[in-house]
Amino acid sequence: MADLNSTFLGITSPNPFWLASAPPTDKAYNVNRAFEAGWGGAVWKTLGEDPPIVNVSGPRYGAIHSNERRVIGFNNIELITDRPLQVNLDEIRQVKRDWPDRALVVSLMLPMNEQTWAQYLPMIEDTGCDGVELNFGCPHGMSERGMGSAVGQVPEYIQMATEWAKKHARTPVIIKLTPNVTNIVPPARAARAGGADGVSLINTINSIMRVDYDTLTMWPATDGQGTHGGYCGPAVKPIALNMVAEIARNPETAGLPVSGIGGITDWRDAVDFLALGASNVQVCTAAMVYGFKIIDDLVQGLSDFLDDKGMASVSDLVGKAVPSVTDWQYLNLNYVEKAHIDQDLCISCGRCHVVCEDTSHQAISHTVNGVRRFEVNDAECVGCNLCTSVCPVDGCITMRPMTSGVDPRTGQKITSEKRNWTEHPNNPMCNS
């Protein structure tokens, strides 16, 4: 059995699954239930200055569903905690006392002046919490007040606030980054320059869910008007993975500890984040959609996976896939794959044919000798992976590398020699 014990910035937890700062960690009642269910840690719902903020009393959430009403994407306009500071601090203290083996980190959002940080950080750490996470990510409401993503979008502010925090905190400081930037590296670099112990990402993405088709107003709305919210859930995972990988592979940020967040629903999602460089992961939407019980699948799935891979602990997995992420210009342009359709598995739906015909390279037949039959014509197939993406039968269409002979599409001999764009004759910048 693989060891799921996790250490992040020196903070230990029995597994690498923490609940992200959000409604599931809003108060002791929720966090106690989460720890009973088996969650390794929690980042407490973001605290702010007293008096507490006020939330709307209408819909905070909106969802995009599949037809089976699975939640694919989720959005919210909830602000930080709306409970008095002291209530939160008392509860945090008690929870940490009751669950000494779990990670308990407190999320924090404060105005941009050092005195406030100097005043609040000791109060928070006095609860016995294991660390603090600075919320520079919330993209709605708080950002209008110069906090949250308004800070996270300006690397200089991140660095400044991180420096204040490091100056006044004893425990590890995590900077939670906003994805509402064009390049995640400068904010991460700023956090590192400010002395951050690690970063967590992503927070939510600016989003409007849809309009109401009857009233033609934004949906969801508060008394007829809406405001953009933060998007999360399965739909945002690919965006989050890219940002995590960018930090992991960029020389200026490589090695900065990362807590991966965004759309994690089952153990495979966690494997994605860990392999692309995160040291642990945080979950919000999946818990909000299915309840805390999903931790069983997360823990057991990851554990079985590590066993299958012969890995003794989570840290063996961390970053494994990072070397495989590179720039487009370094991809091997001599490498050739062709689609292959397993006729025994094919159910003859014809989806591959029509998409290749309409939108790709006209490489799949629909009849052979007058009979409905779908076959790949290697002389046209560019290996794009579209047919495999749309085929409803798992494993029916596979991409197979060509290892010898001639590519019938280009007439080029297959070679094991690599050649990327920087070396390609069509590249005007290439002098070889």
Partner 1 sequence: MATHLPGSPLSQSELEENFSDIHPPLSRSEALIEADRCYFCYDAPCTAACPTDIDIPGFIQQIRSDNIRGSARTILSANIMGGMCARVCPTEVLCEQDCVRNTHEDKPVVIGLLQRYATDPVIQSGKQLFPRKADSGRRVAVVGAGPAGLSCAHRLSTLGHRVDLFDGQEKLGGLNEYGIAAYKTVDEFAQREVQYILDVGGIERQPGRLGGDLTLDHLLGNYDAVFLGVGLGDVNNLGLDGEDTAGVVDAVEYIAELRQADDLGELAVGQNVLVIGGGMTAIDVAVQSRKLGAGQVTIAYRRGPEQMNASRHEQDYARTQGVVIRHWLSPRELQVTDNRVAGMLMDRTRLGPDGSPEPSGETVTLPADVVFKAIGQQLHWNQLADARDALATERNRIKVDDQRRTSHQRIWAGGDCVAGGEDLTVSAVQDGKLAAHSIDDYLRQNHG
Ligand X SMILES: Cc1cc2nc3c(=O)[nH]c(=O)nc-3n(C[C@H](O)[C@H](O)[C@H](O)COP(=O)(O)O)c2cc1C
Tell me the catalytic residues. Answer: 138
Token couple for 348: 């003859």
Residue of the chain from 356, 374, 407, 420 that contacts ligand SF4 (CB under 6 A): 356
Query: Minimum Å distance from CB 3 to ligand SF4?
Result: 41
Q: How many residues are listed for the chain in this entry?
A: 432
d(CA 95, CA 41): 11
Tokens found for residue 367? 């009849």
Query: Which of 1, 54, 66, 429 forms a contact with partner 1 (CB under 8 A)?
Result: 66
Please, which residue, 111 or 408, has the CB nearer to ligand SF4?
408
H helices of 254-311, in order, are: 267-275, 285-290, 295-308
Q: Does 22 contact ligand X by CB under 6 A?
A: yes
Closest contact distance (angstroms) between CB of 219 and partner 1 is 14
Cβ atoms of 53 and 80 within 8 Å: the answer is yes
Pick the binder of ligand X from 5, 12, 23, 384 (CB under 6 A).
23
If you search the block for the tokens 């409401």, which residue do you land on?
A: 141
Distances in whole angstroms, Cα of residue 275 to Cα of each of 19, 176, 294, 306, 367: 20, 20, 21, 12, 43
The contact pattern for ligand X, residues 38-57, with x = CB under 6 A and - = no contact, is: -------xx-----------
* Nearest Cα residue to 138 out of 28, 243, 45: 45
Q: Is 69 in the site for partner 1 (CB under 8 A)?
A: yes
CA angle 268, 273, 279 (to 5 degrees): 120
Under 8 Å CB-to-CB from 370, ≥6 apart: which residues? none
Q: Distance between CA atoms of 311 and 275, rounded to whole angstroms? A: 12
359 in contact with partner 1 (CB under 8 A) = no
Does position 389 interact with partner 1 (CB under 8 A)? The reply is no
Q: Given the rule CB under 6 A, which of 116-124, 255-263, 339-347, 416-424 is the region that contacts ligand X?
A: 255-263
Q: Smallest distance from the beta carbon of 225 to ligand X, in angstroms? A: 19
CA distances from 80 to 53, 75, 77, 273 (A): 7, 15, 10, 26
Does the footprint of partner 1 cover residue 373 (CB under 8 A)? Answer: no
20, interface contact from partner 1, ligand SF4, ligand X, none, CB < 5-8 Å by kind: ligand X
With CB cut-offs between 5 and 8 Å by kind, which of ligand SF4, partner 1, ligand X, none does residue 80 bind?
A: ligand X
Among 320, 340, 361, 366, binds ligand SF4 (CB under 6 A): 361
Residues 6+ positions from 112 with CB-CB distance below 8 Å: 146, 147, 151, 157, 160, 161
| Between 96 and 353, CB nearer to partner 1 | 353
Cα separation, 377 vs 339, in Å, equals: 9
Cα 109 to Cα 46, 50, 120: the distances in Å are 6, 12, 10
| Binding flag, residue 347, partner 1 (CB under 8 A) | yes
3-class DSSP state of 425: coil
> Of these partners, ligand X, partner 1, ligand SF4, none, which one is at the site of residue 360 (CB under 5 to 8 Å by kind)?
ligand SF4
- For residue 49, give the DSSP letter: P
Number of C-alpha atoms within 13 angstroms, CB side, residue 234? 14
- The piece of 277-285, 330-338, 346-354, 381-389 that touches ligand X (CB under 6 A) is 277-285
Check binding of 138 to ligand X (CB under 6 A): yes
361 binds, among ligand SF4, ligand X, partner 1, none (CB under 5 to 8 A by kind): ligand SF4
Position 205, amino acid: I
Contact between 280 and ligand X by CB under 6 A: the answer reads: no
67 contacts partner 1 (rule: CB under 8 A): yes
Q: Looking at 59-67, 295-303, 385-393, 400-408, which segment touches ligand SF4 (CB under 6 A)? A: 385-393
State the residues that interact with partner 1 by CB under 8 A: 66-69, 347-351, 353-354, 366, 372, 392-393
